[in-house]
Amino acid sequence: MKLTGAQALIKSLEMQEVEVMFGLPGGCILPAYDPIIDSAIRHILVRHEQGAGHMAEGYAHVTGRPGVAIVTSGPAATNLVTPLCDAFMDSIPMIAITGQTNRPQIGTDAFQECDTVGITRSVTKHNELVMDPQDIPRVVREAFHIATTGRPGPVLLDLPKDVLQGTMDWYWPTSVDLPGYKPTTKGNGRMIKEAARLISESRRPVIYAGGGILKARGAEALRELAELTGIPVVTTLMARGCFPDSHPLCLGMPGMHGNYTAVTSMQKADLLIALGSRFDDRVTGKVSTFAPDAKIIHVDVDPAELGKVRRADVPIVGDCRLVIEDLVKAVNALGGAAAQPDRSPWTSKLRGWQERYPLHYDPPEEGDALKPQFVLETLRDSTPDDTIVVSGVGQHQMWASQYWRFEHPYTWVNSGGLGTMGFAVPASIGAKVGRPDRLVWAVDGDGCFQMTAQELVTAAAERIPVKVAILNNAYLGMVRQWQEMFYEERYSEVYLSPDLPDYVRWAEAMGCAAFRVETPEDVQPTIDKANAIDDRPVVVDFRTDQAEKVFPMVAAGQSNDDIIVHPSQRSDDRKVVQ
Amino acid sequence: MSDPANHHTLSVLVENKAGVLARVAGLFARRAFNIYSLAVAPTDDERFSRITIVVDVEEKSVEQMTKQLFKLVNVVKISELAPSRSVERELLLCTVKAAPAVRGQVVELVQIFEGRIVDVGHDQLTLMLAGTPAKLDDFADLVRSFGIVELQRTGRVALPQLDRQAPRLRSVGKVS
């Protein structure tokens, strides 16, 4: 069967069971847009290519299936660089398809030409310039294989216009042949036994659960391991939801804005069981003082993560779910729960910290500005526990992670590694497309919202009813917080104005329902109103207290021992409690 | 300045495809590691090329670099070749001034080093020498006194040293 390259591309995507792609057509990708008309694949027309990329990410986050973005050459490809880098940092499976100028024009500075594979080389797991239409089914098959196996990540295919217009003999490869790509999934048996032995000897262990658990679909296995051994679990920013916050063994989020108990438990641990986590600087603080007494069991599917930041006593390369399942067996072989040592002193120490240093904010007094934490608590308590929460980057992201109660995996979508402001609106649209059965709330800052808000037009046009809570403190809040704390309150270029733009009128102009909330009494009724709207996107402009800061905090480059708790919790005898 | 103490030789087997060298080089560039020498050519199997990289990095970075390189989809195999456990060779081409009065001395030096004269001009000679990097260093130093017009080295290629001992007959007991 003879097909054009473009038909082969769309047919290959169909063979990969793609149900939706996010994109925006243009000159060089034009041929690929013609067969889209006849395809069962839904295409969502974005307003900016960055939006297509983040939507693909949001979709992948909640479904575990690769998100697909399709855009043209040149500026469209460069607009995709940020989402590609974001997906690369957070190990999100994603397929990006870009148009390219005709083969003879490549390298001649043709109209809308750029070196897409060169530009995206360091922000993709793999990329390929496809120079022969006959290769299309093979490269698409390989791209999906690479994006979804091992450590997932974005793969970009760059397709010259004349390759899309050329003809090929259709085939579908039955297997992939990549001699240099063979990810290890099964952990080393001897190492797993050694890990079980270390666990059985440990008095102060902590499971340091990272995003890799979610990528490996390993939440159930993790729960089994934690309950079998009775070991408490911290869940990193990328792992929120992989272990229920309501579980008695859950200590919540560690790191720069983690809660006191999660941070300090790692500092005082004698064993850290790192599962799909990568000792990110936002978690470890100053590495040389991080968890000084802890032995390390480190499980990751990416061998390059082992020993990258901290030497592991027991390094295990493998798929997190498979390794945890094997570890459960190994622990059982050593006697299971009954053979675990008495860890009651450790447990009571953890309980003591939790009681003494819970997350805290000063409740507002009459006439005070709205507290962002109060908004989040009310939103949390007014939505089902399988609601998907999507955030941008900054204070609102940290408050959302702190104050939400995550009970299920894949209910938290955010930009962790790259810290991409503007992630929330498009990612929430992608998430809602992936899980139309779920309520999807984006929690955004006013600074973030202004970066990508135009995608609400996409959501309105495509009837994707996401909800956006803007915590509008009229500042680039996190930067303001650093300037207040570390730059003697010299506020440089962080003021944004609460009224410019007028978020309600802007949202309405984009086809959304919109509300403004300025007082605590209005929070609940407005959230109820927003939850009841299901035929278009909703934006709520919450006017929040500009002075509110995120606590606890470990200042950048400082030791986790020097965690700064909320002012009301500070006292001179803090060291004694430790 | 490049410090030979930090030189590490990596032998990287890659798929013989466009862009692979850029991927490999990019991993060094983003960490500001300088590639000291580089040699690339197809192997006996034309699907694969071997890249021999001498890179200027500290010991602790070599392991991480090796792992990062191995993550590249087109990289098939990597080994680090320690100079004491590998055979390294490099080729040098050098055009020197060789006026009739000193030409005999140049020819003599080439003979001592077992090099060859590959081109002859009326007052210049082009010399070729293959050997260990250290031998080439020595030769380059000595030939400098005649006046170097141009000097070019290939970058080294290397293979692991072979076993000197026959393998032990470990499986004898298993034969039944």
Determine the average pLDDT of the residues in B129-144: 95
Number of structural domains chain A divides into:
3
Domain stop point among A323, A356, A389: A356
Identify the band that residue A550 occupies on the pLDDT scale cut at 50, 70 and 90.
Answer: very high
Residue A448's domain is classified under what CATH number? 3.40.50.970
- Structural domains of chain B, ranges and CATH numbers in brackets: 4-81 (3.30.70.260), 87-159 (3.30.70.1150)
ipTM, interface predicted TM-score of the complex: 0.90
pLDDT digits (tens, 9 = 90+) for B97-110: 999 999 999 999 99
| Segment (H or E) for B77 | strand B75-81
User: Do A351 and A382 lie in a common domain?
Assistant: no
Nearest-Cα distance to chain B for A181, in Å, is 5
Helices A320-333/A219-229 angle, 10° precision: 20
B170, pLDDT greater than 70: no
User: Do A314 and A413 lie in a common domain?
Assistant: no
* Alpha carbons A444 and A442: distance in angstroms, whole number: 6
- pLDDT (0 to 100) of residue A216: 98
* Alpha carbons A263 and A280: distance in angstroms, whole number: 13
User: Do A416 and A322 lie in a common domain?
Assistant: no
Contact A307/B26, CB-based, under 8 Å? no
User: Do A414 and A322 lie in a common domain?
Assistant: no
* Structural tokens at position A212: 């890799």
Nearest-Cα distance to chain B for A182, in Å, is 9
Interface of B with A (CB under 8 A): 14-15, 18-19, 22-23, 26, 30, 47-48, 63-64, 67-68, 70-77
Q: Is the pTM of this model over 0.90?
A: yes
Nearest-Cα distance to chain A for B131, in Å, is 32
Range name among A54-63, A433-442, A460-469, A569-578 with the lowest pLDDT average: A569-578
Residue A293's domain is classified under what CATH number? 3.40.50.1220
Residue A574 covered by a domain: no
Q: How far is CA A160 from CA A77, A99, A242, in A?
A: 13, 6, 41
The residues of A annotated with a catalytic role in the active site are 49, 111-112, 161, 478
Residue A559 covered by a domain: no
Contact B70/A307, CB-based, under 8 Å? no
A414, pLDDT greater than 60: yes
Residue A183 covered by a domain: no
User: Do A344 and A416 lie in a common domain?
Assistant: no
| Chain A residue at shortest CA distance from B14 | A180
- pLDDT (0 to 100) of residue A284: 97
Residue A251 lies in domain: 189-356
User: Do A150 and A212 lie in a common domain?
Assistant: no
A432, pLDDT greater than 90: yes
User: Do A314 and A433 lie in a common domain?
Assistant: no
User: Do A203 and A141 lie in a common domain?
Assistant: no
Determine the average pLDDT of the residues in B70-87: 93
Contact A126/B18, CB-based, under 8 Å? no
What is the Cβ-side half-sphere exposure of residue A377, based on CA atoms within 13 angstroms?
10
B56, pLDDT greater than 90: no
Residue A90 covered by a domain: yes
User: Do A196 and A242 lie in a common domain?
Assistant: yes
What pairing do the DSSP bridges indicate for beta strands B86-97 and B148-153? antiparallel
- Mapped onto helix, strand or coil, the DSSP state of residue B66 is helix
User: Do A199 and A335 lie in a common domain?
Assistant: yes
Residue A558 covered by a domain: no
User: Do A233 and A338 lie in a common domain?
Assistant: yes
B60, pLDDT greater than 90: no
Residue A421 covered by a domain: yes
* Alpha carbons A311 and A297: distance in angstroms, whole number: 9
The stretches of A421-563 forming alpha helices (DSSP H) are: 424-434, 446-452, 455-461, 477-486, 503-509, 520-532
User: Do A109 and A162 lie in a common domain?
Assistant: yes
* Structural tokens at position B122: 């009326």
Residue A556 covered by a domain: no
